[in-house]
Amino acid sequence: MNNDSIIILDFGSQYTQLIARRIRELNVFSEIYPFNISFEKIKEINPKGIILSGGPSSVYEKNAPFPAPQIFELNIPILGLCYGLQVIAEIFGGKVKSSQLREYGLAILKIKNKKSIFAGLKDKEKVWMSHGDKVIKIPKGFEVAGKTENSDYAAIVNEEKKIYGLQFHPEVIHTESGMKIFENFIKICKTKRNWVAETYINATIKEIREKVKDDKVLCAVSGGVDSTVTAFLINKAIGKKLICVFVNNGLLRLDEEKKVIKMFERVGINVHYINAEKIFLKKLKGVVDPEKKRKIIGNLFIKVFENYSKKIGKFKFLAQGTLYPDLIESVSVKGPSATIKSHHNVGGLPEKMKLKLIEPLKFLFKDEVRKIGERLGIPLEVLWRQPFPGPGLAVRVIGEVTKEKLDILRNADNIIIDEIKKAGYYNKVWQSFGVLLPVKTVGVMGDKRTYENVIALRVVYSKDGMTADWVNLPYELLNKISSRIINEVKGVNRVVYDISNKPPSTIEWE
């Protein structure tokens, strides 16, 4: 066990993994555990500090989740965020109730106590709120450290016990001094800042070797950052016992299969190619519900791999590039997080699988994966490819997926990427892509009436995929993209621009 660490107890917040990620950014080892982890286990871990996450519950509800009360007797610093603050208030004799005014989004925190947890902050700070309950009475021994317009007790502290409660979310990038708050908490915990990517690489390689032993691993690769880094890590661990497979499911971008095979040849990894386009499109025929699409694709991927593994030899393991956000949005792995959508490689997997999964990146975020990829020597043009959804264009064609619709979207998407690259935005933004909408609109082309498809353009800034802001692209660029799509892609007569942030929207439309 790494006893120079900070652990997070998960009460179901969609931001829980962001907390762990922020702590790791400060070079401190952190890991997430369910809120009801036993006190004995916590003592065994022997952390330097504990963070209580947010969550969807209310502390005054029947069967509300609470941690083992003995954690407050460990004499180590504890930080409660949102629901975590309310847990602290309830346990120590304060009072929490439903607020008449929900506080969601940016708020101004007026700081009353600029020491310890708020050391180095300004008198007023922008913070990110997301709560419907609030503390209306603070416990004995605590004092108010900050307030907002809607929350008189937005921050409470007990310096003697080193217990801190914040109603806002410092882990979300919209809280401007969030990292400074975590840095202050690390100082209070007196934790060494010695956790780096090399540590993760070495530990992961050792873990893979111990798990695989003399068996072989089948690795799904797509040409994206995640599966490429996964392939490199496993290749470094077991060498020729790794067999990489690329499946063309017919849901790819224009000429994607050719580009991916060439890219892997350049970096020295042999890839087996499977053309399964007809199988996937047949299974998706008539399917409209996005969750069904994801599950069909996830199940079919596994079947294709299992069938292929029989042809080329016995395999015990299947590797894939699952990341933390995939797990968070699909299903709670270590806590009671609510499901947002099933990812094809998580929630879409069949209940019974013949192949055992190896997912070396499943507790990492995209930028952490890129850092590890750099240390493994993966070319930058590969590492900085924009994310592409596992289910491919199936979740960007809203409604039923057909080859005709996919071809329309493929050509439109190719124009979008081309113009985004020409304008110098490709490496500045998180994602840029098109969505084919299930509507047609009237237009005029060459003095003739048209009734054709609509493409929605989506371009966002993000650091980790957990939150995202739409990009205010120059009008000239928007005009260029729109004109080219309408003039060059048969079947499209209108382009619209999506100006929604995440939250409340997601990056992908399905």
pLDDT recorded at residue 224: 83
- Do 135 and 86 form a contact (C-beta atoms < 8 A)? yes
pLDDT at 329: 54
| pLDDT reported for residue 268 | 75
Query: Would the CATH topology of 5-189 be identical to that of 396-497?
Result: no
Catalytic residue among 90, 171, 183, 329: 171
* Sites in the chain below the pLDDT cut of 70: 1-3, 100-103, 324-325, 327-353
Cβ atoms < 10 Å from Cβ of 89: 25
Other CB atoms within a 10 A radius of the CB of residue 262 amount to 10
Residue range 450-508, pLDDT digits in tens? 899 999 999 999 987 878 999 999 999 999 999 999 999 999 999 999 999 998 899 99
Q: How far apart are CA 446 and CA 269, in angstroms?
A: 50
| Domain ranges, ordered by start, for the chain | 5-189, 197-383, 396-497
- Asked if 169 is an active-site residue, the reply is yes
Q: Does the active-site annotation cover 244?
A: no
Q: Does domain 5-189 have CATH number 3.40.50.880?
A: yes
The single residue of 82, 189, 219, 244 carrying the catalytic annotation is 82
Q: DSSP characters for 195-214?
A: --HHHHHHHHHHHHHHHHTT
Q: How far is the C-alpha of 475 from the C-alpha of 477, rounded, in Å?
A: 5
302's enclosing H/E stretch is helix 290-312
Class of domain 396-497: alpha beta
pLDDT of amino acid 341: 42
**Which helix (H) or strand (E) covers residue 405, if one does?**
helix 403-422
Fold of 197-383: Rossmann fold (3.40.50)
Active-site residue among 90, 125, 131, 169?
A: 169
